[in-house]
Amino acid sequence: MNTIFDFTVKDRKGKPVALKGYAGEVLLIVNTATKCGFTPQYEELERLYEKYHSKGFEILDFPCNQFGQQAPGTDESIHQFCKLTYGTEFPRFKKIKVNGDDADPVYKYLKEQKGFAGWDMTHPLAHILDDMLRKEDAEYDQKPDIKWNFTKFLTDKRGLVVARFEPTESIENIEKAITELL
């Protein structure tokens, strides 16, 4: 697999979606959760989507229940929550795993391309996450695994992974990176 466009994923109803259908677009790929301290980021993500979608930008939302069981429910109930609570319009896919042997192949690829980039320690939740994860594994920050919900990967129009943003990254920095690629 050379680019993100080489993969096929499942939509929330279980139908295959070839990511090559997004070729030529800038993608922000996000693992999400509906019951997380970062869940309000859906609002910021939808704002980015509305602002740049017509310019060739797409957000791909992959719910994941691996971090504190914070994405409970069915694919459809998660979708309804996001639509009703945050008015999201970007594509939402089937709930997946992002870490471990049974991680979705898309996420295995993304992590190979961009490892953990560190927290923005000015974010109020950064120290809490760092303390919690360091207690579990003193060297957690040396591994490429996804650390928490709302980790974002940015791909360019050719499908190459150009950046990874941890959930503590400011939306302004993410938006700047998106506009540079558009």
As a whole number of angstroms, the distance between CA 62 and CA 64 comes to 6
Q: Is residue 180 part of a domain?
A: no
Q: Is residue 126 part of a domain?
A: yes
Q: Is residue 131 part of a domain?
A: yes
Over the stretch 75-111, which tens digit does the pLDDT of each residue have? 999 999 999 999 999 999 999 999 999 999 999 999 9
What pLDDT was estimated at residue 88?
97
Q: Is 64 a catalytic residue?
A: no
Q: Is residue 175 part of a domain?
A: no
As a whole number of angstroms, the distance between CA 61 and CA 46 comes to 11
36, 82, 146, 161: the catalytic one is 36
Over the stretch 102-137, which tens digit does the pLDDT of each residue have? 999 999 999 999 999 899 999 999 999 999 999 999
What pLDDT was estimated at residue 117?
86
* CB half-sphere exposure, 71, CA atoms < 13 A: 27
Range of the domain at 58: 1-16+41-153
Q: Is residue 177 part of a domain?
A: no
Query: Closest Cα partner for 104 from 69, 76, 66, 141?
Result: 66
As a whole number of angstroms, the distance between CA 142 and CA 115 comes to 8
Contact 4, 19 (CB under 8 A): yes
Q: The domain that contains 97 carries what CATH number?
A: 3.40.30.10
Predicted confidence (pLDDT) at residue 1 exceeds the cutoff of 70: no
Q: Is residue 164 part of a domain?
A: no
What pLDDT was estimated at residue 79?
95
Domain count, the chain: 1
Q: Which two tokens stand for residue 111?
A: 């992590």
Contact 149, 36 (CB under 8 A): yes
Query: pTM for this one?
Result: 0.97
Q: Is residue 21 part of a domain?
A: no
Q: Is residue 182 part of a domain?
A: no
What pairing do the DSSP bridges indicate for beta strands 8-10 and 26-32? unpaired
Predicted confidence (pLDDT) at residue 147 exceeds the cutoff of 90: yes
Contact 119, 129 (CB under 8 A): yes
| Amino acid identity, position 124 | P
96 DSSP assignment: B
